[in-house]
Structure 1
């Protein structure tokens, strides 16, 4: 009816005073409580990390659907490290974009990753990775807490292969320790060592893990060295001068 509120909860209720006068009581809807104080969904106590699903609107393939080139790393489960139990969980944009975007906008990170700006900048990057299959983005969970961002990729199928003598199934790693409170604590080395050894153990066709941090990023290079990598060469890549870091399979890596 014209002029009547469409929201029944907003319509006034009538009651009567003892003297017979009608009093109108108007219900005022309260705004929903803020959820900004809640932790990232993966920090909550849940029986299991929810499965990664495709975005229905864009039909973006799930990491599980495209990670055959990398032996379905997202299904491998946790690994024990000297820093604690660690696990790589495939990125899910609807859940993880605010967190990854916040990390990318840290000035110390933006200088090397070049993904700072509004969320769509990071979102486009993640969607490209999820749709490609040669490079899979992950959150790194230490004792169940998201604290790092990883990309594991087929270096032999990547443009990087044009700049060094790649071998079949070379596997590359990009690593970002996200929160400022987690940097400078020596976590990168043990986590990188654990993931590298897991890759070499589970990907039997892979004989080397490689990385190409910016030559200016001295802390990153030091982290790779502490995890058993060696500096193999300096590369002139289209966007940077990089240190080619290589971790070869050794006898102890063979299960």
Structure 2
């Protein structure tokens, strides 16, 4: 899941993506480009179940640049999610309007998108993904009252991810073709009227 290039035409008045407001057993922190966070993200990205779809099993130095770049901009917020006090997942929260996805559906300025990677393969397939995705969508809508929908674009061949997003309340809204993948556009609206038309 190669990080999407930032677009430069987003209105300056739209802030960068927020940290989701999560309640126990979940918590979120902004990932740092050094120390334990860097070790964690770099290590997780080497895992086969993540590399199969993210394609970012990069050297440590490249991850320093990647996370530092996100932290310096207003397009993507790198986040580590914890569950019951244990690090579980790496998340990228992005403003759709500053992302390559913007040209593929009738987005609104405050739409937020998410990329998710559950770090350890042994913690997948247990319902944690769907619970996290629901908490994450609700937490982002709570963090930005102007946002009316949270979107995702998992690879159409990633059946476990598609199942988890759907179980978490994300609804199908078509498909999107990128140079590196064919994706399912999934939307978690604040209300029924907030689905893209």
Which of residues 9, 16, 19 in structure 2 aligns to 1:73?
19
State the alpha-carbon separation in 1 of the partners of residues 105 and 117 from structure 2.
23
Rg bigger for which structure? 1
- In structure 2, the partner of 1:93 is 33
Deviation at 1:157, TM superposition (A): 2.1
Residue 79 of structure 1: SS of its match in structure 2?
coil
TM-score by length of 1: 0.66
Residue 140 of structure 2: aligned partner: 199
1:179, distance to aligned residue in structure 2 (A): 1.2
- 2:26, 2:15 → 1: CA distance? 22
Task: Output aligned runs, 1:1-255, within 5 Å.
Answer: 68-70=15-17, 72-73=18-19, 76=21, 78-80=22-24, 85-95=25-35, 96-250=37-191
Residue 68 of structure 1: CA displacement? 4.2
Aligned CA RMSD, in angstroms, stands at 1.7
Q: CA 1:231/1:178 → structure 2, altered by over 3 Å: closer, same or farther? A: same
Structure 1 unaligned blocks of 5 or more: 1-66
Point out where structure 2 has 5 or more consecutive residues left out of the alignment: 1-13, 193-197
Assess, with a 3 A threshold, how the Cα gap between structure 1 residues 117 and 158 changes in structure 2: closer, same or farther.
Answer: closer
Distance 1:156 1:208 in 2: 13
* Contact 1:116-1:122 within 8 A present in 2 as well: no
How far, CA to CA, are the matches of 2:183 and 2:43 in structure 1? Answer: 25
- Contact kept, 8 Å, 1:86 with 1:142, in 2: the verdict is yes
Q: List per-residue Cα deviations over 1:199-246 (Å, max 9, x = no partner).
A: 112311111110001111111111100100011111111221100001
Distance, in Å, in 2 between the alignment partners of 1:223 and 1:117 is 26
Structure 1 range deviating more: 92-101 or 222-231: 92-101
